[in-house]
Amino acid sequence: MDLTQLLAFTLQNKASDLHLSAGSPPIIRASGKMKRVKADSLGSDDIRTMLYSVMAEDQRSEFEENMEIDFAIALGEKARFRVNAFTTRLGTAAVFRTIPGDIPTMEELDLPPVLRRFAELEKGIVLVTGPTGSGKSTTLAAMINHINIHHSKHVLTIEDPVEFFHTSKKSLINHREVGQDTKSFARALKSALREDPDVILVGEMRDHETISLALTAAETGHLVFGTLHSNSASKTIDRIIDVFPTGDKEMVRAMLSSSIQGIVSQSLLPKVGGGRIGAFEILVGTNAVRNLIRENQVPQMFSMMQTGSRYGMITMEDAIKNLLEGGFIDKDEARRALMKSSDEGESERNEDYAATALGGGRISGENMSPRDEKSPDFKGDDEGGYSF
Q: What percent of the chain has pLDDT over 90?
A: 77
Q: Tell me the pLDDT band of 348, cut-offs 50, 70 and 90.
A: very low
Cα–Cα dist 25/30, whole Å = 16
Q: Give me the pLDDT at residue 352, please.
A: 55
Q: Give me the pLDDT at residue 358, please.
A: 64
- Contact call for residues 140 and 200 (beta carbons, < 8 A): no
DSSP conformation class of 310:
G
Digit-coded pLDDT (tens) for 266-322:
999 999 988 899 999 999 999 999 999 999 999 999 999 999 999 999 999 999 999
pLDDT of 384 strictly over 50: yes
Q: Give me the pLDDT at residue 360, please.
A: 54
Q: Which residue has the higher pLDDT, 211 or 384?
A: 211
The mean of the pLDDT values for the chain is 88
- E-strand ranges in the chain read 17-21, 27-30, 33-38, 68-75, 79-88, 91-100, 124-129, 154-159, 172-177, 199-202, 223-228, 260-270, 276-284, 385-387
pLDDT of 345 strictly over 60: no
Q: Give me the pLDDT at residue 376, please.
A: 34
Angle between helices 331-341 and 347-358 (to 10 degrees): 130
Q: What is the 3-state secondary structure (H, E, C) of 66-84?
A: HCEEEEEEEECCCEEEEEE
Q: What percent of the chain has pLDDT over 70?
A: 88
Cα–Cα dist 129/280, whole Å = 10
pLDDT of 367 strictly over 60: no
Task: Give the pLDDT mean for 10-35.
Answer: 94
Q: Give me the pLDDT at residue 269, please.
A: 94
Q: Give me the pLDDT at residue 100, please.
A: 84
Nearest one of 143, 324, 132 to 223, comparing CA atoms: 143
pLDDT of 347 strictly over 60: no
Task: Give the pLDDT mean for 183-210.
Answer: 93
How would you label 287-317 residue by residue, b for 16+ Cβ within 10 Å and e otherwise?
eebbebbeeeebeebbebbeebeebbbbbbb
Poorest-pLDDT segment among 21-25, 130-134, 162-166, 341-345: 341-345
Poorest-pLDDT segment among 9-18, 71-80, 352-361: 352-361
Sheet holding 68-75, edge to edge: 68-75, 79-88, 91-100, 17-21, 27-30, 33-38, 385-387
229: how many CB neighbours lie within 10 A of its CB? 16
Q: Give me the pLDDT at residue 68, please.
A: 96
* φ, ψ for residue 387, nearest 5 deg: -80, 130
Separate counts of helices (H) and strands (E) for the chain: 15, 14
Beta bridge partners of 91: 88
pLDDT of 370 strictly over 50: no
**Burial of residue 116, with CB atoms counted within 10 A of its CB: 0-12 exposed, 13-18 middle, 19 or more buried:** middle
- Contact call for residues 239 and 232 (beta carbons, < 8 A): no
Q: Tell me the pLDDT band of 353, cut-offs 50, 70 and 90.
A: low
121: how many CB neighbours lie within 10 A of its CB? 15
pLDDT of 229 strictly over 50: yes
Task: Give the pLDDT mean for 340-345.
Answer: 60
